[in-house]
Amino acid sequence: MDYELFKNCIVQSLKQQFLNAEIRSNKVRKNNGMELDSLVIHETDNIVVPSIYLNYYYSKYQHGLSVENIIMEICSKYKEFKENSKYMKNENYINHFKDFTTASEHIVFKLVNFEKNKRLLEDVPFTRFLDLAIVYAFLVKEEDNSVATILIRNEHLQMWNITANELHEYAMLKTPKLMPVRLKSMEEVLRELFGQSNENMEGERNSDSNMYILSNGKGIHGASTILYPGVLGNFAHRNNDDIEQLYILPSSIHEVILLPCNQMLNITQLQQMVEEINKTQVPQDEILSDSIYVYSVKDDTIFLADIQEL
């Protein structure tokens, strides 16, 4: 069956499973203009509902999973969400969100691509930064490897009676505290990835040792850490190195790669590498940019690399 028929089949089948619930599918605009169909199962005692994307399940259907098994999987996921998410039955966070005195303690910012998110940016407050945009969110909860946030929209500014500039000031102050920076060398990342010890990696040290991965502790929307006060400057002076500039390679919205500028690096090749990785290895909704950025230690500023001059 085609996708539209599949969606209708899933919704109608779930209505038979949840007789007292509202069941529907909504279009959800994700990062970089991607739109997905989110399944909504709304019971009267629900404050929060899980994100269940029908696009994902249609792919599983195309690969042989039956509709019956998909329904079972969705029901199981929904039940697990209700049992494990205590905040669903706790209205405190909603009250915190409505009152900016408390909401301001949970404001964080993220970096997204400006051109790819123009439609989204019509509905949300943002601050332009080079070819990117800074957007804002309310941090609902944190778990080991995930965070739950509410994207702040223009209507929320009206509810709070604040300006976009005030929101930005709170976010710049709170984000580094709520989402602390994490900096690891490429060697450390590879050791963790392959489970190798320092001794096993000793003989494999090479020029990549100058490459560092910058993110936050959760590894989620960690590219924003390049805007944390002092982070890039402290990195440049970490070993009293005489570094004048740093290259910033946008690995994804979740992390960036830092490496000192030097004559051995070809900026054109670096940009081609970033473009190729974005095309082949980074999910569409996690791409930050194809651009290369440069941090000036002297001026404490970030700017777009000019390939013609570097």
pLDDT tens track of the chain, all 310 residues?
A: 889 999 999 989 988 888 888 888 888 888 898 888 888 887 766 556 677 889 988 999 999 999 999 999 988 888 877 776 554 455 566 777 888 999 999 999 999 999 999 999 999 999 999 999 999 999 987 666 667 788 999 999 999 999 999 999 999 999 999 999 999 987 887 777 676 554 454 544 444 468 899 999 989 999 999 999 999 999 988 766 678 899 999 999 999 999 988 767 788 888 899 999 999 999 989 999 999 999 999 999 999 987 544 4
Torsion 70-72-77-81 (CA) sign: positive
Crossing angle of the two packed helices 67-84 and 3-17, in degrees rounded to 10: 50
165-172 LR contacts (CB < 8 Å, sep 24+): 167/107, 167/125, 167/136, 168/109, 168/125, 168/127, 168/134, 168/136, 170/104, 170/107, 171/107, 171/108, 171/109, 171/134, 171/136, 172/109, 172/227, 172/229
**Which of 239, 249, 237 lies closest to 294 in space, CA to CA?**
249
Q: For the whole prediction, is pTM greater than 0.75?
A: yes
Give exposure, 286-306, as e/b (b: 16+ Cβ within 10 Å). bbbbbbbbbbbbeeeebeebe
H-type alpha helices, the chain:
3-17, 54-62, 67-84, 92-98, 100-103, 118-121, 154-160, 164-178, 186-194, 198-202, 231-236, 267-280
Whole-angstrom distance, CA of residue 21 vs CA of residue 61:
25
Q: Per the structure block, which two tokens stand in for 178? A: 């709520």
